[in-house]
Amino acid sequence: MRRLSRRKALSLVKELDAFPKVPDSYMETSASGGTVSLLAFGVMAVLAVLEFFVYRDTWMKYDYEVDKDFSSKMRINIDITVAMKCQHVGADILDLAETMIMSNGLKYEPVIFELSPQQRLWHRTLLVIQKGLGEQHSLQDVLYKTVHKGAPTTLPLREGASLEPLSACRIHGHIYVNKVAGNFHITVGKPIQHPRGHAHIAAFVSHQTYNFSHRIDLLSFGEEVPGVIHPLDGTQKTTPNNNQMFQYFITVVPTKLHTYKISADTHQFAVTEREREIDHAAGSHGVAGIFVKYDTSALMVTVREQHMPLGQFLVRLCGIVGGVFSTTGMLHRFVGSCVDVVCCRFKLGVYKPTEEAQASQQQNDHLPPLDLRPGEEARG
């Protein structure tokens, strides 16, 4: 009984075989078939390698939602060099709620405004990247995916000692502000807290020393992510006028960045620039200085780095193998049929009657007809 059940199970399995084995004696090989097989294997290998590179690559997915976090503080990272001495300039922030935020987190460092050869090379490279970012947004995805923690992205230090006077001031550091619109500005005189509002001590600074030519090495919002280039990084403005106002209008968008190398809460922003000379006699009023007016967006962007799943890669790989086999097989049979019809049958005269068939037909035509009586059959 056990043997009988085993035989039945084995026969049932054989009946379900979807891959019947064809005996070798029934298979006919040819040189053309071998050539097509080699071409098919080559095409499959090339497509499989290309598909593997696609599998290894990643892409950035952008999701948008409403930013519900308005109670937390926003960090502003600043690294600006002004062509004035540090004792003559001051920086602070005044937000929309008339809250004056002192620049206690900023450092004032006397430096040389002109860049060294190594610094100029870094600055030119940064400008080239900025130009590429303006032309194609996909470059930003590459920067997102290649960031490294601890990678230097700020202006390198000046190599060696210089005899030039330290006539410029580098203002760098970070400030935490409320998530409301505000105005970060650098102008003449140190800021002071005044009961009636906002004030800078500028009475003791000579008007001839005013020079707000500046270079922005870094201006970003949120957590500082090394390797990410922001719109104003590398901006340099020079002016021969003493009373020059530089304005930057910024819209900040909260951004959460999640890649395979780093996760950070940063901010993207768009900027509009404007500059004009202060001339009260001509009706151009204002205060000379550098003004960065920012406002936060109600939307939040989540940027995630995604990868092709392994299952999808295997399915696409099987599709490549099966598709190439099927396509080359159909092409081979089609071309073979065409060659057989054109070259073998028409040219070699397959459809023409042979000489033996013609002689037999003529012999049958000369034979007398048989006179058969009813009920008799011809015998021969």
Amino acid 265: pLDDT: 85
CA separation for the pair 187, 88 (Å, rounded): 9
Residue 351 scores a pLDDT above 60: no
Q: Write out pLDDT tens, residues 75-99.
A: 999 999 999 998 889 888 888 776 6
Residue 198 scores a pLDDT above 80: no
- For CA atoms 224, 229, 232, 234, give the dihedral sign: positive
Residue 172 scores a pLDDT above 70: yes
- Residue 274 is encoded by which pair of tokens? 């404007």
CA separation for the pair 22, 2 (Å, rounded): 31
Amino acid 380: pLDDT: 44
The percentage of residues in the chain with a pLDDT greater than 90, rounded to a whole number, is: 21
Helix ranges (H only) for the chain are: 2-15, 31-56, 117-135, 138-145, 310-339, 355-366
Q: Write out pLDDT tens, residues 26-62.
A: 667 777 777 888 888 888 999 999 999 988 888 888 8
Q: Write out pLDDT tens, residues 227-272.
A: 788 889 989 999 888 889 999 999 999 999 888 888 888 888 989 9
Q: 117 versus 343: which is more confidently predicted? A: 117
CA separation for the pair 103, 245 (Å, rounded): 20
Count of alpha carbons within 13 angstroms of residue 182, beta-carbon side: 24
Amino acid 149: pLDDT: 52
CA separation for the pair 244, 210 (Å, rounded): 9
Amino acid 102: pLDDT: 66
CA separation for the pair 178, 176 (Å, rounded): 7
Q: Write out pLDDT tens, residues 100-120.
A: 676 678 899 999 888 888 888
Residues 6+ apart with CB under 8 A from 51: 313, 316, 317, 320
Q: Write out pLDDT tens, residues 271-324.
A: 999 999 888 888 888 888 999 999 999 899 998 988 889 999 999 999 998 888
Amino acid 108: pLDDT: 92
Residue 202 scores a pLDDT above 80: no
pTM here is 0.70
Q: Crossing angle of helices 138-145/117-135, nearest 10°? A: 120
